[in-house]
Amino acid sequence: MKSDWQILQERLAERFGAEMDYDGILFVIGLQELGKPYQKFKKDEKLEVMHVAICTLLEPFGFYEYAGNDEEGWPHWNLKENLPYLDAKQQNKLIIDAIIDYFKKQDFI
């Protein structure tokens, strides 16, 4: 039986024509949440798009609170609670679980 993570990776590969790595998935979530048509982004803007994804993913866990969009349409969050220290394995599990929850809420998996 396949895990939700494996199913998600297969669905994304079907949708985008290639297997997506962790950063690629975060970028896609960030673009989705940004709600703007795809455009070329500079390196620092790509990091901002990924930050949008991280805040979106961690909001349901109580770490961030959505504060609204700025004049350019970029969403912003306020930090509600500092993240506890997590080793790399724990960080990876937290983000993967949050990604799976996100795509389930989107009825993608």
What are the structural domain ranges in the chain? Answer: 4-105
> Tens digits of per-residue pLDDT, 20-76?
998 999 999 999 999 877 788 899 999 999 999 999 999 999 999 999 999 988 999
Chain centre to alpha carbon of residue 40: 19
What is the residue whose two structure tokens read 């700025």?
Answer: 70
E strands present in 8-91 = 64-69, 75-79
> Tens digits of per-residue pLDDT, 83-101?
889 999 999 999 999 999 9
Bridge partners (DSSP) of residue 76 are: 68
**pLDDT of 2 above 90:** no
DSSP letter (8 states) at residue 35: T
Supply the pLDDT for residue 5.
Answer: 94
Work out the widest C-alpha separation in the chain, in whole angstroms: 47
Decide: pTM greater than 0.85.
Answer: yes
Closest C-alpha among 63, 67, 61 to residue 80: 63
